[in-house]
Amino acid sequence: MKRIAIEMDEVIIDLNHKFSPDAASHEAQTGSLDSAKPQQSRPALFQEIEELIGEESFYAGLPALPDAQRVIERLAQEYEIFITTAAVEFPRSLTAKLEWLKANFPFISPMNIICCSSKGILNADYLIDAHPQNFAQFTGEGVLFTTAQNQQETGYVRVDSWRDIEQRFL
């Protein structure tokens, strides 16, 4: 059975919802966000966001991206699914992330949740991620999940939504 590793933040969970649900959704759909990396274009805001993400309560109440739950459940019938997260960078968020996954994706075994910053350790056929730098050490096929920050990236297989993932893999 082939394996798909799926990054949690920005691919499964709607992080932008916490900051500005209406604007984030509109900007993600229209591409009107500044496509520069936030740490470069707005360092103070980026620092504030990193601090918020590090809080234990940050993930409570955040929604999954549209169709993520349905499509991942379907994928799990034909692929071995692993959820990846860089929770080690924000250790206080680890418990909250695990609780969020348990509540929103009860069909994913805790044994299939991988906390890692380097995606090079993953033994999977595919990695769906919003950050192209995570494909550098990954030995399988990287699939770039479109966000406002990565729209200018080229040279990757790209998906824009969970419906695109469904069409590609099922």
pLDDT of the residue at 16: 78
Q: Which residues pair with 115 in a beta bridge?
A: 85
pLDDT of the residue at 20: 56
pLDDT of the residue at 89: 75
Helix (H) or strand (E) holding 7: strand 3-7
Quote the CA–CA distance of 111 and 55 in Å, as a whole number.
Answer: 24
pLDDT of the residue at 59: 85
Quote the CA–CA distance of 74 and 59 in Å, as a whole number.
Answer: 24
Nearest to 70 by CA among 104, 98, 44: 104
* Domain 3-169 top-level CATH class: alpha beta
Give the mean pLDDT per block of 10 residues along the chain (170 residues).
97 81 44 49 66 75 96 99 87 87 97 94 98 96 95 96 98
pLDDT of the residue at 39: 55
Task: Mark out the alpha helices in the chain (DSSP H runs).
Answer: 16-19, 21-30, 38-41, 43-53, 68-78, 94-104, 162-169
pLDDT of the residue at 37: 54
Q: Rg for the chain (alpha carbons), in Å? A: 15
pLDDT of the residue at 45: 62
